[in-house]
Amino acid sequence: MSEHQGQHDAERRAFIGKSLAAVSLASVAPGVMLGVASASSGQGGVSDQVRLGLLIDTNKCVDGCTACVDGCNKENGIDLFQKPEGQDADMWEQQRPQWIRKVKVRDRATGVVTNLPLMCQHCEKPPCVDVCPTGASLKRPDGIVMVDRHICIGCRYCMMACPYKARSFIHSDVAEKVLQAPRGKGTVESCNLCAYRMDKGADQTACQEACSTAGYGAIIYGDLRDPESAISKALKSMPSVELRPDLDLNNGVRYTRI
Amino acid sequence: MANTTNRFPVVRFILGLLLLLATGLGVAASDRLAPGSQAQQEEACVAPVPEIRRNHMNLLKHDRDLTVRKGDRDIKFSLSSCVACHAGKDSKGEAIPVNAPGQFCATCHQKLAVQPTCFQCHSAVPGKQQSAALNAKGRALLGRMRSLSASPEQIQELAQAHLGVLEK
């Protein structure tokens, strides 16, 4: 009997040993990819030596003109949205996706009226990024503040936090999808300084192009850190302010003659 | 344990081999491609087929984070290039949505009953496929029709019929 037991133990040990070896060889931690396929190395990307922004000359901005709004809507597929059947017109105006809008302000003391386009101000210290619970609202290294809509859960906290009401929400299913602005129901979006268009080789944002085509040329886009860029030169040539300077957000979008 | 002896070790080996083959290793990939798609003319996908089948969701996720959060466009696995290559073409040469029933994504996803949610937001056809003659209203209408399950020919017919009305 004892002889047999010795043999059993040896066999069992060998079996257990072999099966453990096989299991450890076969099991791989999830997410580890064996073999040839490997995702991109991630060495590229935008640099933080660049800070992108806009300068808007409100003197050139004309009352009643909506060229920049129309240009942005066409470029980013926003014009494909229509008021749903039976919805209140007021409600639609408040809830429709909008990346840029025309604002008219009147100085209380003097009565002077100023027109300006208002879009995401691409703050250096964005409140929307602070409040986002998932990290979907992000500031890119080059200063563009945008929403990663894969991560966005649609809570709209950023919409509440934004002092400029720059963000909008998609309330309905998207039928016609455009490559430059993939969007889906239940996510928040805002101006991204035409990042897709710029990556494809354009040198003007859609609003800038529309404004210069309309003959006013009130919008200049460029690299705020590059002293040779058109925007830097324009910023040096005339005084400019950011909207709501009391909030100390250091916006990338500046306005002159307000 | 001492009483059991394996008289036919060869049988066990052959059975094991058959089981292994039944998992479908080495199945030819060309039967899954949509007819008329550019992928049919390509020699290989951007990664070996077994790897990309198993890992495409992870590779896409990794590279999308590079593009969205870091602005890196120089990535290997871009969803729009997958769509551009794998979208089939109908008899008129128009691209068919890549996630439509019977098309490329469905060949695996239907059987697995896993919904790819990519195309809730991303375009399932290459490029911005819109008729230049349609204005914004027409494009919206065409989009709505595409989201229903009409055949591409029916959609084109309806779009043409509405063309005159919507251009005003």
pLDDT in tens, A181-236: 999 999 999 999 999 999 888 899 999 999 999 999 999 999 999 999 999 999 99
pLDDT score, position A114: 94
Q: Is the pLDDT of residue A35 over 80?
A: no
Report chain B residues whose CB lies below 8 A from the CB of A39: 58-59, 62-63, 75-77
Give the tens place of pLDDT for each residue, B144-162: 655 555 566 766 766 666 6
Q: What is the percent of chain B with per-residue pLDDT over 90, rounded to a whole number?
A: 24
Pairing of strands A52-57, A253-256: parallel
pLDDT score, position B93: 84
Whole-complex ipTM: 0.79
Question: Under an 8 A CB cutoff, do A37 and B52 touch?
Answer: yes
Give the tens place of pLDDT for each residue, A9-33: 888 888 898 888 888 776 655 555 5
Please give, rounded to a whole number of angstroms, the shortest distance from the CA of B46 to a CA of chain A: 9
| Residue B6 contacts A where some CB pair is shorter than 8 Å | no
Please give, rounded to a whole number of angstroms, the shortest distance from the CA of B2 to a CA of chain A: 7
| Residue A140 contacts B where some CB pair is shorter than 8 Å | yes
Taking all residues of chain B, what is their mean pLDDT, rounded to a whole number?
76
Question: Under an 8 A CB cutoff, do A140 and B66 touch?
Answer: no
The answer to whether A248 and A81 are in contact (CB under 8 A) is no
Q: What is the percent of chain A with per-residue pLDDT over 90, rounded to a whole number?
A: 74
pLDDT score, position A84: 87
Taking all residues of chain A, what is their mean pLDDT, rounded to a whole number?
90
Nearest to A80 among B1, B76, B143 (CB): B143
**Looking at the whole model, is its pTM more than 0.90?**
no
Report chain A residues whose CB lies below 8 A from the CB of B149: none
Q: Which of A77, A84, A121, A159 is closest to A247 using CA atoms?
A: A121
Q: Is the pLDDT of residue A243 over 70?
A: yes
pLDDT score, position A1: 54
Give the tens place of pLDDT for each residue, B21-69: 555 444 444 677 888 888 888 888 888 889 999 999 999 999 999 999 9
Q: Is the pLDDT of residue B134 over 80?
A: no
Q: Is the pLDDT of residue B89 over 60?
A: yes
Task: Supply the DSSP string of B48-84, one letter for each residue.
Answer: -HHHHHHHHHHHHHHHHHHHHHH-----S--HHHHHH
Report chain A residues whose CB lies below 8 A from the CB of B71: 45-46, 140-142, 144, 195, 199
Rounded (10°) angle between helices B136-147 and B152-166: 160
Report chain A residues whose CB lies below 8 A from the CB of B48: 35-37
pLDDT score, position B129: 40
pLDDT score, position B133: 39
| Residue B32 contacts A where some CB pair is shorter than 8 Å | no
pLDDT score, position B94: 87
When mean pLDDT is compared over A193-197, B5-9, B124-128, the highest value belongs to: A193-197
Please give, rounded to a whole number of angstroms, the shortest distance from the CA of A81 to a CA of chain B: 7
Question: Under an 8 A CB cutoff, do A82 and B66 touch?
Answer: no
What stretch of H or E contains A99? none
Please give, rounded to a whole number of angstroms, the shortest distance from the CA of B99 to a CA of chain A: 14
- How many A/B residue pairs have CB atoms within 8 Å? 116
Mean pLDDT along residues B108-133: 79
Report chain A residues whose CB lies below 8 A from the CB of B64: 150
Rounded (10°) angle between helices A206-213 and A67-75: 140
Which residues on adjacent β-strands are paired with residue A255?
A: A56, A241
**CA pair distance A119, B118, nearest whole angstrom:** 28
Give the tens place of pLDDT for each residue, A51-93: 999 999 999 999 999 999 999 999 999 999 988 888 999 999 9
Q: Which residue of A has its CA nearest to B64?
A: A150
**CA pair distance A119, A168, nearest whole angstrom:** 11
User: What residues contact residue B95 under an 8 Å CB cut-off, 6+ apart?
Assistant: B87, B88, B89, B125, B126, B129
Amino acid of residue A176? E
Report chain A residues whose CB lies below 8 A from the CB of B144: 175-176
**CA pair distance A251, B128, nearest whole angstrom:** 33
**CA pair distance A180, B16, nearest whole angstrom:** 51
| Residue B7 contacts A where some CB pair is shorter than 8 Å | no
| Residue B139 contacts A where some CB pair is shorter than 8 Å | yes
Q: Is the pLDDT of residue A5 over 70?
A: no
Mean pLDDT along residues B69-73: 92
Which of A64-78, A107-121, B85-99 bottoms out in mean pLDDT, i.e. has the lowest?
Answer: B85-99
Question: Under an 8 A CB cutoff, do B51 and A37 touch?
Answer: yes
Q: What is the percent of chain B with per-residue pLDDT over 70, rounded to a whole number?
A: 65
